[in-house]
Amino acid sequence: MKNILVPTDFSENCNKAAELGIKLAKLYKSEIHFFHLMKTPVDWIKLDKQKEMQYPETVKQIGSAKAALRELEKEAEHESLECRIFLEFDGGQTNILKHSGHFHHDFIVTGSSGTSGGVRELLGSNVENIVRNADVPVIVVKNQEVSFPFKDIVFVSDFLQDVNEAFKQVISIAEKCGGHIHLLRVNTDTDFNSIEQGLDPIKKFLKNFPALDNYSMNVYNEPDVETGINNFLQYKNADLIAMCTSGRTGFLSLFSKSIAEGVTNHSELPVMTIKI
């Protein structure tokens, strides 16, 4: 994790995401970039200074955004981090991802509101689209206060797909944080079986990671994956939920789009998605 991007609209949850981004950057000794997209009534880049004055409210908003970005920069620099700030106009989700690709970010941390349904747009950029299309791991911070370092990480998979490289990202964070990994498989209505049979794919998967020792194996039989995750969290503490996404369909066979996006939308905990 060498270069972290934090898209922000300066909302409460985005501010929590910025705080988490700074802590992760400090942990990994990474560079951190704060990025703000702003809607303007006209193509702001093409305006000269005289024409800008025809839009005093927009000028005021731009000034506020620049000041907020500078405050985030100061916070990062206070932690002795390399930091850059960016303000762009009339951008959408593609701008965030293009920006991320241009600067070779290898991690994105952002905030989103609510746990009751639709993920709020991040100044024209739907967080779900960032999660679905980003080529790098994404952590979405929600309403619940972030507990960091992450001491309990839930990694959800069917353990039948090749998720080895993605799991290495989870192991890296767990080792840096001194955290415990809860490996969770949810058998749904279509594949209910014994707990022992459900453990077999996890045991086989773990043979690829013989040095891993701070983990537990968990299998739940539930009507659907999201219910399984929620029921697991009733009995186990967790600071972060991690799952994989696929570039072909958006999500692995275990997770329909509605399930994976539902977890990202509804979970009060931070959710980390990793594209494979």
CATH architecture of the domain with residue range 152-275: 3-Layer(aba) Sandwich (3.40)
pLDDT at 8: 92
pLDDT at 249: 45
CATH architecture of the domain with residue range 3-141: 3-Layer(aba) Sandwich (3.40)
The reply to whether 152-275 shares the fold of 3-141 is yes
Dihedral over alpha carbons 87, 92, 93, 99 (to 10 degrees): -40
pLDDT at 132: 78
Domain boundaries along the sequence of the chain: 3-141, 152-275
Considering the entire predicted model, what is its pTM? 0.88
Q: Which residues pair with 152 in a beta bridge?
A: 180
Dist. CA 162–CA 173, nearest whole Å: 20
pLDDT at 180: 98
pLDDT at 192: 60
C-beta separation of 107 from 169 below 8 A:
no
The angle, 0 to 180 degrees and rounded to 10, between the axes of the packed helices 12-28 and 56-78 is 30
Dist. CA 221–CA 193, nearest whole Å: 8
Q: How do the pLDDT tens digits run along the chain, 276 residues long?
A: 999 999 998 989 999 999 999 999 999 999 999 999 888 878 777 777 787 788 888 889 999 999 999 999 999 999 999 999 999 887 555 578 888 888 999 999 999 864 443 344 554 346 777 887 889 999 999 888 899 999 999 999 989 888 999 999 999 999 999 999 999 998 876 666 677 778 999 999 999 999 999 999 999 888 878 888 989 999 899 999 999 887 554 444 444 444 556 676 667 899 999 988
